[in-house]
Amino acid sequence: MHVTEKLPHDPDAAFLETYDPAEFDRPSVAVDVVVVTVDAGALHALLVRRREAPQRGRWALPGGFVRIEESLDRAAGRVLRDKAGLRGLYLEQLYTFGAPARDPRTRVISVTYLALIDDTRLHQVADARAGDVVLARLRVPWPGQAGGPVLAYVADTKLPTAFDHAAIIGMAVKRLRGKLDYAPISAELLPERFTLRDLQDIHEAIRGHEVNKDSFRRRLLATGWLLPTGEREADVAYRPAELYRLAPPTTKETNDG
Amino acid sequence: MHVTEKLPHDPDAAFLETYDPAEFDRPSVAVDVVVVTVDAGALHALLVRRREAPQRGRWALPGGFVRIEESLDRAAGRVLRDKAGLRGLYLEQLYTFGAPARDPRTRVISVTYLALIDDTRLHQVADARAGDVVLARLRVPWPGQAGGPVLAYVADTKLPTAFDHAAIIGMAVKRLRGKLDYAPISAELLPERFTLRDLQDIHEAIRGHEVNKDSFRRRLLATGWLLPTGEREADVAYRPAELYRLAPPTTKETNDG
DNA sequence: TGAATAGTGTCTATAAGACAATATCCC
DNA sequence: GGGATATTGTCTTATAGACACTATTCA
């Protein structure tokens, strides 16, 4: 077969013939972050109102362009700080969306991230920027490990979402459902101390159906992800449950670019 | 908090102040494909020898820059055709690597893909391009769902790999191990018809340890991923096993950018 | 017939689901 | 004490691992 291209990142003649950066456009690279929380038993995501064309008035994920000298993870963290005033969240790369026409103006490739936060904290920043940002309730029209776009609601009104962001949110939900049993991510959606019931509510909101209480308790306690604090919840009209916190990670996860 | 940036893809004044494309560099965007196969019970990946600086003589993944009008998936498919003469493979997006210094010349963000193929077919293209490409045996130094860079060998000689490609291959192995039980991907590493023993060998090579034969058979047959053909393998010095093929997908998977 | 592996049936160990019983809080 | 939920313990059911046994091919 005739090889018309060369190795990646290889500035030889055959490459320049096709890809001379002075002659050919490069795509823009953005990061978009799906900030997810669970509130009142339902998945929610943070959306920002677009004030300029195109897609003016539609609701978009917080995002921004990647600076030439910053890593993707740092870009996502910066967007989170600057657009939502949030820092220190659980953050992981989700998927990269690059359909040529996903942005009507120019080629924008978006590296998307998933961020998790508890609803109290997210409500604070959302309220502080009311009008600009909203916590949209997510309606996930597919079960299990399937995928697809997700609908965003405020009260019973469906929000118009910008670009392919409904599909990006769908990918976030799919990732959440897929990782729930294999990584201690659900606790990232709760404050530092929480009960097993809190955690079960998170799981049920993400899965979209109820789970068995007994085996849920057994399974999670057996993972070693949780540490009992010896404290109990207060001011409840029933026997107070023990408060747990997330155990420190066991030096496993790495990976970035 | 003071908001210094605007919405993603939003060409208003505040954005242009920071990101005017005429004034600030954009990163280049490449795709790199990890073509994986299992040969003689061991994971292998296709590597291409670099003939130019930097990293001359090192071994790299087949890759190339994304064209301004093509989707990421199409770019990965094109790279596979042009660099390896391969088409019609199972192909899925893996992870996007974007550390600022991962390429010493300029900022290159690489959207990586995982491709699966059976070893007979991959040997054909590798032999046809001997010297330029090699099927490297992978040594995976970490167990289970952990991650990290992977070493590439030819016979007992460790190949020097280019850039962060050892980490990319590591991500490919991690993905394979994670998906093995939830998606019918192992059959993508075999010819159209295969025995359950073939499939078990694939699983053991990917996992890095043996699996229980009885429960493996039960579990795989229960997934509905496999269809018996009624045929049996031939020319074996023992009772021939039934040949299976992959059942058509049940309209679940979607997603792209 | 012997060697080798496929495929079936059965038993045991482990994890999940169901459910009863007791514990602990607020009112 | 009554109401509500936490927590523990036990029983049942489903699944995984272990292993014995039969089946089928080639030499």
User: Can you spell out the DSSP letters for A173-187?
Assistant: HHHHHHHTTTSTTGG
Looking at residue A25, its pLDDT comes to 80
Looking at residue B130, its pLDDT comes to 87
Angstrom distance (rounded) from CA B243 to CA B227 = 9
User: Is the torsion defined by CA of B19, B76, A34, A157 positive or negative?
Assistant: positive
Q: What Å distances lie between residue B20 and A19, A119, B235, CA to CA?
A: 21, 36, 67
Query: Which chain A residues are within 8 Å of B180, Cβ to Cβ?
Result: none
* DSSP tag of B200: H
Q: Which protein residue's Cα is closest to nucleotide D9 at C1'?
A: A214
pLDDT(A11) > 50: no
Residues of chain A (163-202) having a beta carbon less than 7 angstroms from strand D:
195-197
Least reliable range by pLDDT among A24-38, A133-147, B17-31: B17-31
State the pLDDT confidence band at B5, using cuts at 50, 70 and 90: very low
Looking at residue A145, its pLDDT comes to 87
CB pairs under 8 A between A and B: 196
Least reliable range by pLDDT among A244-248, B18-22, B53-57, B249-253: B18-22
Angstrom distance (rounded) from CA A219 to CA A205 = 18
**Nearest nt by C1' to A210 Cα:** C17
Angstrom distance (rounded) from CA A152 to CA A155 = 10
What is the pairing mode between strands B42-49 and B59-60? antiparallel
How far does the CA of B76 sit from the C1' of D17, in Å? 42
User: Is the torsion defined by CA of A133, A138, A139, A145 positive or negative?
Assistant: positive
Whose tokens are 């994304």? That residue is B66
pLDDT(A51) > 50: yes
Q: What is the mean pLDDT of residues B103-130?
A: 95
**Nearest nt by C1' to A240 Cα:** C25
Angstrom distance (rounded) from CA A76 to CA A62 = 9
**A147 to chain B, closest Cα gap in Å:** 7
Please report, rounded to a whole number, the percentage of residues in chain A having pLDDT higher than 90.
83
Coil, helix or strand for B56? coil
Please measure the distance between the N-terminal and C-terminal CA atoms of chain B and give it in whole angstroms.
33
Supply A238's token pair.
């029933």
Chain-centre distance for alpha carbon A104 = 24
Angstrom distance (rounded) from CA A122 to CA B66 = 37
Looking at residue B254, its pLDDT comes to 43
Looking at residue B108, its pLDDT comes to 96
Looking at residue A210, its pLDDT comes to 95
Q: What is the mean pLDDT of residues A208-230?
A: 96
State the pLDDT confidence band at B145, using cuts at 50, 70 and 90: confident
Looking at residue A251, its pLDDT comes to 62
Closest CA to A7 of B146, B244, B57, B135: B57
Least reliable range by pLDDT among A18-22, A97-101, A142-146, B189-193: A18-22
Coil, helix or strand for A243? strand
* Residue B195 half-sphere exposure toward CB, CA atoms < 13 A: 13
Burial class (CB within 10 angstroms; exposed 0-12, middle 13-18, buried 19+) of A204: middle
Q: A138 near A41, Cβ under 8 Å?
A: no
Q: B109 near B29, Cβ under 8 Å?
A: yes
Q: What is the mean pLDDT of residues A124-144?
A: 94
State the pLDDT confidence band at B25, using cuts at 50, 70 and 90: confident
Q: What is the mean pLDDT of residues B171-189?
A: 96
Angstrom distance (rounded) from CA A173 to CA B40 = 38
Give me chain B's average pLDDT, please.
89
Q: For residues A86, A92, A94 and A95, what is the CA-based torsion angle, rounded to 10 degrees?
A: 100
